[in-house]
Structure 1
Amino acid sequence: MTMYFINKKTFHFLAMLLPTLTLMAQENFTGYWQSSIALNYGVAGGYSHNFSIKNRNYIYNNESLQLNVRQIDFAHFSNYKIQDNQSLALGILYRSRNIFEDGIDELRLTQQYNLQSKPYVIRYGHRLRSEQRLNKNITIHRFRYRFSLDFPLKGEKLNVGEPYFVGNIESLLSVAKMNQPQYDTRLTAHFGWQLTNNTKLQIGSEYRLENFSQNLEHIFFFLTTLNFSL
């Protein structure tokens, strides 16, 4: 019964991502390959740090296939557990884009609240974020809510060498002075493997509907992630 429930959940998340297979025939479509590496380590008690580097590359842009670097992100988060299933975090990110294309570098500040629950095999998560995206031309305030779930694909507990699934849906609102509000939605699915006690590898995809209230853009990501924990 447990495996049937897990497989059904997996099917639902994959079904939501199937529309990306037809997007390359549309005009307002951009495809990316994004790779990232992250390091998590505890400091004391419920306090921990996270450092990450992300590299984003075009794989489909201007109605043509290509492989060009768009940007690199350097990020840091400080996390503090306020209860066993709740945490607060502050983050800072620097996005380097100007050296790769005619873009603008960005500094981003993030405030986060995270709530998790695990009544059975599946773990559910609710994440609230507020962000200030700063560049030389404008400051954008963004508000985000993400619902996620994850679970092992073998048995009820994740062991070394075994796979797992992570899926989430996120809604975003961006506001800035003299600009109309922008609404986005993101659907993400990852399949991961617990390589060692402290190492995880994830491969997945993300489909974004950006600015759907004004000029809808379809964006697809192929994602690869390597996570280390100390």
Structure 2
Amino acid sequence: MSYTKWVSFLLVFLCIHTMMNAQDNLTGYWQPQVAINYDVAPLYSHNFSVTNRNYVLNDSEVQLSVRQLDVAHFSNLKIQDNQSIALGVQYRFRNAFEGRGDELRFTQQYNFTKKPMTIRFGHRFRAEQRITKSPTIHRFRYRFTMDFALKGETLNMGEAYFVGNLENLLSVSKMASPEYDVRLTGQIGWQLQGGLKLQTGLEYRLEDFSSGVPQNVVFLLTSAQISL
């Protein structure tokens, strides 16, 4: 096993270890997602997704209740074999579940990937505008990703693969101090027949970590992605 694969497994271990020790200000969610990808032209594609976020641990109490529902669309343009730009729009339904107000979000994205050997590396840059009744929040995100087949050097139909992410976020607005977040994710996926991918894994978020009371958030992620 290569050095990079050991680093990837270490990433997952650190994620789980950190979550087990993040007992203060801990919130837990289960977040299932369904996404559809389809090509409009050789270099242009669309993505639609529906994501449901549910509490499983809130204020140190175990519960299962809906927090929000997100509906999103991305238009993706490939500018080189390993580079793309995208524009996205998302609507977050939260008022119906918690009375906290809905959110409209616009996203601009640049993505760059490289696969020197058997492991693919990705760099994603995003700028977002989160529009609610409060002043607009501008958020800037950088995500580093690595993924690889868990058996052999290439991914065959029905075999498993690993995806690991490390993301940093900065949120700024007129009425609040800057907020810094970090997210660590590890997922296992399977490439199946008919363009179907299934993924499941864990994500740990340390939100507003520069404040006196940072928030620890844990996600159980499950997703189904269909490419038409």
Q: What is the TM-score normalised by the length of structure 2?
A: 0.96
Between the aligned partners of 1:14 and 1:112, the Cα distance in structure 2 is 26
Offset, 1:51: 0.2
Offset, 1:178: 2.2
Between the aligned partners of 1:153 and 1:5, the Cα distance in structure 2 is 14
Which residue identity is paired with 1:56?
R
- Alignment equivalent of 1:8, drawn from 6, 9, 12: 6
Offset, 1:137: 1.8
Alignment length (residue pairs): 226
Structure 2 unaligned blocks of 5 or more:
none
SS in 2 for 1:181: strand
- 1:132 counterpart residue number: 129
Offset, 1:138: 1.9
- 1:159 counterpart residue number: 156
Offset, 1:69: 0.3
Between the aligned partners of 1:99 and 1:65, the Cα distance in structure 2 is 21
Q: Sequence identity, in percent?
A: 58
SS in 1 for 2:151: coil
- 1:21 counterpart residue number: 20
Structure 1 unaligned blocks of 5 or more:
none
Contact preservation (8 Å) 1:6, 1:153: no
Between the aligned partners of 2:185 and 2:170, the Cα distance in structure 1 is 18
Between the aligned partners of 1:73 and 1:20, the Cα distance in structure 2 is 25
Q: Deviations over 1:27-75 (max 9, x none)?
A: 3110000000000000112100000000000000011000000000000
Between the aligned partners of 2:154 and 2:24, the Cα distance in structure 1 is 44
Between the aligned partners of 2:12 and 2:225, the Cα distance in structure 1 is 23
Q: Deviations over 1:133-163 (max 9, x none)?
A: 0011220000000000000001111111100
Alignment of 1:1-230 (within 5 A): 3-5=1-3, 7-17=5-15, 18-23=17-22, 26-214=23-211, 215-230=213-228
Root mean square deviation, CA, Å: 1.1
Which residue identity is paired with 2:10?
H
